[in-house]
């Protein structure tokens, strides 16, 4: 029983890590976009990105299930390419990434907004193109805030349940995360295993959040 707990914990942390990495390019990109540019449809896009924060997680899960299921618009294309998402670890990554992204974008946007544009302007007068300005000036100066946002998104991914269980189920050894495990174990009456997972969950989340808050303060 204890090996189950460690397996579930290890799996959850690993998948949450993958999900966080997957989140980073679109997350930082969107944060940058919202911080620096005005364009037609910007508010609509901002709202869309923030949606998973507000609608019930199971609703997000349902949307993902419809999109990525074998009969869904995206799932069909993936299935043709031989890629299965639903009920696999990929679905867990997907759910975690979708639920964590809005947090990363939010924190990242604030971080970029706090970077004085004058630095970017100076870099431009020194001959740096937009990509170089971003990589050498904007990104490093926003680094702390981005790091805090990333950790926040990671913590969210760790605890993600509603959407995950919809698209990935809670298959022991395969897609069972800490949260899904706690739920499944309590359903079955295995309170000891549930308690073990609960403890692990609290410890990990506490650690991640603590570091995130420290980074955000300084």
Partner 1 sequence: MSFALTLDFVLRQDDFVLEMHEQVADRAVALYGRSGAGKTMVLDTVAGLRRPHRGRIQAGDHVLFDSKAHVDLPARHRRVGYVPQDVTLFPHMDVRRNVMYGAGRSTSNMLAHVLDLLDLEPFLDRRVGQLSGGERQRVAIARALMAAPDLLLLDEPLSALDVELRARVLPYLVRVRDDLRVPMLYVSHHADEVRAIADWVIHLERGRVTAAGPAEKVLAAAAGTGGLDSPG
Partner 2 sequence: MLRRILPWRLGGWLGLVLLLTALPASAGARQSARVVVSAASSLTDVLTQLVDLYEATEAAVRVELNLAGSNTLARQIIAGAPVDLFLSANVDEMRRLEAVGRVRANSWDALLSNQLVVVTPDDQPAPPRQLDDLRAAAVRRIAIGDPAAVPAGIYARQYLEALGIWDDLAGKLVPTRSVRAALAAVETGNVDAAFVYRTDAATAPRAVVAFEIPLAEAPAIVYPIALIEGSQNGTAAAAFLRFLRSASAKTVFEWAGFIVLASRGSAIVP
Residue numbers at the binding site for partner 2 (CB under 8 A)? 65, 69-71, 84, 86-87, 169-172, 184, 187-189
Q: Rule CB under 8 A: say whether 114 interacts with partner 1.
A: no
Q: Which is nearer to partner 1, 18 or 124 (CB)?
A: 124
Q: Which is nearer to partner 1, 14 or 121 (CB)?
A: 121
Q: Rule CB under 8 A: say whether 140 interacts with partner 1.
A: yes
Least distance to partner 1 from the beta carbon of 113, Å?
Answer: 17
Q: How far is CA 34 from CA 16, 38, 55, 73, 182, in A?
A: 25, 7, 21, 28, 37
Q: Rule CB under 8 A: say whether 127 interacts with partner 1.
A: yes
Q: Rule CB under 8 A: say whether 148 interacts with partner 1.
A: no
Least distance to partner 2 from the beta carbon of 133, Å?
Answer: 45
CA-CA distance, 100 to 149, in Å (whole number)? Answer: 10
């Amino acid at each position: 029983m204890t090996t189950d707990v460690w397996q579930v914990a290890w799996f959850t942390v690993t998948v949450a890590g993958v999900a966080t990495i997957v989140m980073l390019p679109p997350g930082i990109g969107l944060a940058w976009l919202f911080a620096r540019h005005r364009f037609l449809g910007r508010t609509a896009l901002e709202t869309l990105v923030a949606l998973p924060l507000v609608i019930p997680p199971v609703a997000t899960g349902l949307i993902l299930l419809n999109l990525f299921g074998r009969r869904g618009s995206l799932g069909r294309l993936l299935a043709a390419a031989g890629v299965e998402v639903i009920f696999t670890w990929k679905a867990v990554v997907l759910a975690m990434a979708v639920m964590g992204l809005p947090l990363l974008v939010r924190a990242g946007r604030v971080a970029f907004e706090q970077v004085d544009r004058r630095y970017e302007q100076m870099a431009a007068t020194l001959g740096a193109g937009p990509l170089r300005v971003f990589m050498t000036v904007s990104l490093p100066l926003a680094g702390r805030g981005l790091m805090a946002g990333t950790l926040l998104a990671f913590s969210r991914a760790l605890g993600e349940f509603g959407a995950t269980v919809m698209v990935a189920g809670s298959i022991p050894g395969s897609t069972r995360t800490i949260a899904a495990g706690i739920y499944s174990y309590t359903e079955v009456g295995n309170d000891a295993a549930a308690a073990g997972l609960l403890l692990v969950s609290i410890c990990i989340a506490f650690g991640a959040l603590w570091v995130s808050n420290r980074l955000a303060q300084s």
